[in-house]
Amino acid sequence: MRVLILTNEFPPEVYGGAGVHVAELTRELRRRIDVEVRTFGTQEEGQAGWHVTGTQAAHDLARAPEPLRPVLAALSRDLAMVVEPVAADVVHCHTWYTHLAGVLAHLAYGTPLIVTVHSLEPLRPWKREQLGGGYDVSAWVERTALEMADAVIAVSRETRDDVLRLFRVAPERVHVIHNGIDTDSYRPDPETDALERLGVDPSVPFVLFVGRITRQKGIVHLVRAARRIDPAAAVVLCAGQADTPELAAEVEAGVRAARQERGNLVWIPEMLDRRSVRQLYSHAAVFCCPSVYEPFGIINLEAMACETPVVASAVGGIPEVVVDGETGILVPVATEPADPMAVTDPARFEADLADAINALLRDQPRGTAMGAAGRRRAVERFGWSAIAEATVDLYRSVARPGAGSEPLSELRSEPPSSGPSERSATSVAPSG
């Protein structure tokens, strides 16, 4: 069996949960089947049964309007991804950034297509702030790929429901395979040198946020809630570059206001190495995930694996990870039907976040018990080995008869043996 993985993120260029997913999944897949990865970047690695190739934009984008450049750059890289002949038994796409490449490989080379849904563009309308009309392009590419795919992997049951509600995809083609966690890498770490370097006092209990500065992750709500959090505890925000200057300004203003009222707020505006993040997770009294949209929420698993109790919003796939009252506390949040990023009652949500955090800060034994339960759940339910086995089973179910009879290294330069299927050729037009 040979799979071609298409992804915009791959080590060392990983900045989000989808990149972590691909890195861990491919590590396990290569123990079972031949794997080729085509990604955005300059990576180049190859050995028997394992190839990684980075791609660059093939067009000069200097004259394109600035908001459109990220989208056009992705599409340009997608074209570059399929110039090299595709000789895999299955092509597996991650995130809309590579969906056009998957569609082209499916149509031009006749390769069965699988798409993993890490998030959905219709539920991220705030991306229009960043991309303008590029958001409509990304939404069209995503819809085309999902409705054409031989199989769709949803990372949670809630995400599967969203796919079936928003797209014309037959239910039998949508499969739930959860995200996972490497519980050897994410484990309790007694060391504190990274905390001290980052300006975090390990002797003071602290509430931790790890994530991107984006509407989806709800950091604005946590910053506002910080004023209500017990001032004896610190608040640590591990959050890098914002999606837009406007959002950056909003978060900066919120941080200034919170510091004036409570002090003891540390903002780490950089991407950290795994060891440093592991120390932050391990020594936090509470980890907070205030997302308003979250298909899965792998950061909650990372915190749980480090034995840290979680306070998280009860949205998307988070309730499938965090067990309310056992591994953490789930906080209800309602959003506007016309805008999934707009919280219906933000003041109530922020107050509820603060109340849940304060409850765990006041009851350390309860937090310790939740942390231990979280570690057990992460180890028992979300190991990457089982996830890889389920993924390979899905590959085999969509692959053409006779797939996997020759090693990948012998097929990389061969031309495709068949053209697009009739079903695929009639599915390329977008709907809606």
pLDDT single digits (tens) 55-71? 999 899 999 998 899 99
Mean pLDDT to the nearest integer, 146-168: 96
Task: Look up the CATH superfamily of 2-180+383-417.
Answer: Glycogen Phosphorylase B; (3.40.50.2000)
Q: Distance of alpha carbon 315 from its chain centroid, rounded?
A: 15
Mean pLDDT to the nearest integer, 322-335: 96
Q: Is 188 left (phi over 0), alpha (psi -120 to 50) or beta?
A: beta
Burial classification of residue 240, based on how many CB atoms lie within 10 Å of its CB (0-12 exposed, 13-18 middle, 19 or more buried): middle
Whether 87 and 414 have beta carbons less than 8 Å apart is answered as yes
d(CA 57, CA 75): 8
Mean pLDDT to the nearest integer, 320-348: 91
At which residue do the structure tokens 């219709």 appear?
Answer: 122
pLDDT over threshold 50, residue 17: yes
* Percent of the chain clearing pLDDT 70 (strictly above): 93
216 falls in which pLDDT band (50, 70, 90)?
A: confident
Mean pLDDT to the nearest integer, 336-353: 88
What pLDDT does residue 403 have? Answer: 59
What pLDDT does residue 411 have? Answer: 35
How many CA atoms within 13 Å lie on the side-chain side of 67?
14
* Predicted TM-score (pTM) above 0.95: no
Mean pLDDT to the nearest integer, 127-137: 86
Residues of the chain with CATH 3.40.50.2000: 2-180+383-417, 193-381
Collapsing DSSP states into helix, strand and coil, what is residue 3? strand
Does 410 or 268 have the greater pLDDT score?
A: 268
pLDDT over threshold 50, residue 415: no
pLDDT over threshold 80, residue 283: yes
Mean pLDDT to the nearest integer, 118-141: 88
Does 13 or 150 have the greater pLDDT score?
A: 150
- Note the CATH architecture for domain 193-381: 3-Layer(aba) Sandwich (3.40)
Mean pLDDT to the nearest integer, 3-12: 95
402 falls in which pLDDT band (50, 70, 90)?
A: low
Q: Which two tokens stand for residue 162?
A: 């969203």
What pLDDT does residue 410 have? Answer: 39
Report the mean per-residue pLDDT for the chain.
Answer: 89
d(CA 86, CA 423): 20
